[in-house]
Amino acid sequence: MERYKLIKEVGDGTFGSVWRAINKLSGEVVAIKKMKKKFYSWEECINLREVKSLRKMNHPNIVKLKEVIRENDILYFVFEYMECNLYQLIKDRERLFSEAEIRNWCFQVLQGLAYMHQRGYFHRDLKPENLLVSKEVIKIADFGLAREVNSQPPYTEYVSTRWYRAPEVLLQSYQYNFKVDMWAMGAIMAEMFTLRPLFPGSSEADEIYKICSVIGTPTQESWAEGLRLANAINYQFPQSAGVLLSALIPSASSEAINLITSLCSWDPCKRPTATEALQHPFFQSCFYVPPSLRPRAAPTRTPPPVARGPLQQQNVRRYSGVVSNPKPAGDLSSFKSQAIDTGVQRRLNMAAEDAKKNQRSTYASNRRQKYQPPGRNGPTTINKGRVAGRGVAEVADRFANMSVGGARREMHPPPPMKAGGWRAGPGDSFLRRSQEAVHPSRRKVAG
């Protein structure tokens, strides 16, 4: 304990007192629970229910046990520090909590309970004092009365603060289970809405009377086991029709009233489990919806500017001379305004591939000695020695103007064919293909 400095006592209970302390080495603020009972061996400490249960649980809505210290036969539990408990918030509250706040807290507590019950424990002492709050986070604390779900009865009669004690425990049943936590959760949830306890009985008998006055006297149909327990201890339920919870809790929504009603059912079998309660419509807005499933309007996207290098600009000029309805190569702004970015990129890629094919075709034709007909593998009348060093744009311009080499000799169209041929205009000799291309000097014209 020399590593911790006790600052202030923040609570005192039946089994121990709670102090706010600070770690001298790290400066971390912690809560230290000092047990009132003496412990003379480590075996006693390790076998404590609170130690055994908390060592098995790690959940964001269950208070974290950091360290167990035994010094001079005194046992200390070092917990993470929380600002206050729910009882203090309710007591000092001047106006009602919003339903959104209540929904958030109840959702977190039920998540902690579901985790605890699945790990084989139930709390048995759930009340506002044992729900610790820091800002918007709430955690379950004080597992001194926690029991294993699979442990064998009989269980202790007195388990929780009377106002949150389930009716089967009030009727001295020794075979209750984790559903006692669900009853307490219903009573706490109602108290969050009204800032007053729902069943504030002054004794066990008065507690049952308060319950009957709110939810009505149990019947053979609603809770036959409860009538049997009452007969076993010679107890007779007070006759009451009950009241509507919506009249007692006017600020609660219909979904909240429905959940409280189901949690505070006479028959434990009719109370939902923590997992089932989390699926109640009251908590519908608490579930996380992935971004891919969230409804959203399609954003208006502005096509990003496409950076073009010298080669791409040449490709655009080359492409503009081939496609139908070509646009001037220099009018790039109008071209971008009428096409989306994917279309622009696709056309540029096509132009680049086309230019590479034409360049390879031109180089291949320059290496051939044999004359090739126009329109089949590209023109071969271009001077080989003067094309090799020229760019794609110059080749495209020469193709468009149909001028040849350095001699600047014009190509004349072949004579019109009268049957089965084609008529080509100036500059079209390599764009339109006949059924059988032959050398112009060897072409015979019928008639």
Binding residues for ATP: 34
Nearest CA-CA partner of 287 in 57, 61, 59, 103: 103
Is 125 labeled as catalytic in the residue annotation?
yes
Nearest CA-CA partner of 264 in 295, 227, 221, 218: 218
Give the residues across from 34 on adjacent strands: 17, 76
How many Cβ atoms sit within 10 Å of the Cβ of residue 170?
Answer: 21
Give the residues across from 84 on adjacent strands: 133
Burial zone of 33 (CB within 10 Å; 0-12 exposed, 13-18 middle, 19+ buried): buried
Q: Are 12 and 18 in contact (CB under 8 A)?
A: yes
Question: Residue ranges for the binding site?
Answer: 34
Catalytic residue among 73, 92, 125, 428: 125
Residue count (the chain): 447
Give the residues across from 410 on adjacent strands: 403
312 vs 352: CA distance, rounded Å: 7
Amino acid at the residue 36: K
165 vs 4: CA distance, rounded Å: 37
Q: Catalytic residue positions?
A: 125
